[in-house]
Amino acid sequence: MDQRYGRLTRQELLREVTTLTERARKAEQKGMLSEFEVYERKKTIAQSYLLDRKQYEPGKRYEIQGEDQGSLLISYMNGVFAWGYRDGETDLTAIPISLLKRHAT
């Protein structure tokens, strides 16, 4: 898809996620791991646009999906990215909101 995700309708985003999922699956089956990772990252970003950004609040900690006991303390939001600090780190990092889940302790 050539358009920016922020300009797509919900239906267009859902179609894009489906397309990227299928492309990632095919790339993985062919052993094209770099291509697989690119499609997975694009899918993560597209999925972020389907979420309500207001549900992610600065000053709160969220678990990061796919990381054992990893969480992010959000400092601020910029579009569909939460900027903050991972557990025990001092470097600011950005995480797409589709990778964040329920509040951590």
The counts of H helices and E strands in the chain are: 2, 5
Per-residue model confidence (pLDDT) at position 2 = 64
Per-residue model confidence (pLDDT) at position 37 = 97
* pLDDT tens profile 61-71: 999 998 776 89
* Residues 99 and 67 both lie in one domain: yes
Mean pLDDT of 45-60: 95
For the chain, how many residues are written?
105
Residues 6+ apart with CB under 8 A from 53: 77, 79, 80, 97
CATH number of the structural domain spanning residue 91:
2.30.30.340
Count of structural domains within the chain: 2
* Residues 76 and 62 both lie in one domain: yes
* Residues 98 and 58 both lie in one domain: yes
For residues 82 and 85, what is the distance between their CA atoms, to the nearest angstrom?
A: 10
